[in-house]
Amino acid sequence: MKKESDDLDRLTVNIADLEQVEIQIASWCNRSCSFCPSGKFPVPKTGMTSETVDRIISELERIGFSRTIGLHLMCEPLMHKNIQDIVKQFRDRLPNTFIRMESNGDALKNMDRLGSLMDHGLNEILINCYDSPEQFATFNQKILALDPTGGPIWYWNQWQRNPATPKKEWRVVKLRAFYGSGYSLKNWAGHVATQRPETLTLPLSLDCARPSNRLHVNYLGQVILCNMDWKFEVVVGDLRTQKIEDLCNAPILLDYRRHLKAKDRNMPLCRQCDSGGPTGLQPSFPAADPWTGLRALGLDLKRWHPWKRIRSALGIRPTPP
């Protein structure tokens, strides 16, 4: 009995300690990329209802959640027509959280919208440039030219570092270069073809932390296993009717955690998943302009142990013995 109790304690998660709650704020993405399950099977094009949004916030508010809210689970969040109001609801009722999203940027033709999202309470947006260096350059120039009325925006690519302010006060934009070929991209638990140069034997003998350190809520308000569960194959329960702490430690999640901690992925969804396998070339965050490194160097000169940081800023590696 004691061993069973110890195992349960080891697998049980305190919901307030979760790293992130990821939310599918819209059911779809406007793109269908070869490396992504989006567009590979039919889904209704709809946004999460206001009632479901309110229920999620109420549950997080009740338990005092103060960590990260991700509004981009398996979707393009800017497709939701009320995304700004939703961001504001999260900010007003969960003031200590870090609210972020990832986007393809297609809905940011008018860059004033980006500033407005920040004004409504968004802390960080990561824009993935999938098309070409020219697309990256266009976004880069638009962001450098931003002059938002609601306050300054910290452009990560310009400074190559995060701001020193508390995360709940951030107004950060990151631009990622995702074009080209040769990336080691995951197969999304078998929902897209394998895209790795190496051959992997599945199921992998690997742990996975996602069912332990994050909670994933689809646009219907259901808690699902993880961000690979595009077809909602492993539904944990319904947040619209169940308490969030009960869902966080539901029997099915405890069972998955038990298997994954033992590096056993021979379970539905996990057995086809190559996430966590060997990683090669990854998408990059190019600097905004040639002066980026010098600005970083100038900041580093004010910090402790300057010579080590100067070498790092200039890209100088220590000479091996």
Q: The domain containing residue 86 runs over which residues?
A: 2-272
- For residue 208, which of 301, 271, 119 has the smallest C-alpha distance? 271
Q: Are residues 147 and 202 in the same domain?
A: yes
Whether pLDDT at 320 is above 50: no
Q: Match 């061993």 to its residue by tokens.
A: 3
| 280: in domain | no
- Both 131 and 224 in one domain: the answer is yes
Q: Determine what percent of the chain is predicted with pLDDT higher than 70.
A: 88
Of residues 282 and 87, more confidence is placed in: 87
Order the strands of the 98-103 sheet from edge to edge: 154-155, 172-177, 124-129, 98-103, 68-70, 20-23, 214-217, 222-224, 235-238
Same domain, 309 and 185: no
Compute CA distances 113 → 11, 53, 117, 120, 196, whole Å: 42, 21, 6, 10, 36
Average pLDDT over residues 85-111: 97
313 versus 134: the higher-pLDDT residue is 134
Same domain? For 211 and 249 the reply is yes
Say if CB 286 and CB 136 are below 8 A apart: yes
Residue 279 is assigned to a structural domain of this protein:
no
The SS3 assignment for 217 reads strand
Residues 65 and 143 in one domain: yes
Give the phi and the psi of residue 100 in degrees, each rounded to 5.
Answer: -140, 165
User: Given CA atoms 282, 283, 287, 289 in this order, what sign does their dihedral have?
Assistant: positive
308 or 42, which is more confident?
A: 42
User: Same domain for 303 and 196?
Assistant: no
pLDDT of residue 308: 55
- The mean pLDDT value of the chain amounts to 89
User: How confident is the model over 157-193, as pLDDT tens digits?
Assistant: 999 999 999 999 999 999 999 887 777 788 888 898 8
179 versus 230: the higher-pLDDT residue is: 230
This model's pTM is above 0.85: yes
User: Cα separation of 186 and 56, whole Å?
Assistant: 29
Residue 225 near residue 234, CB atoms below 8 Å:
yes
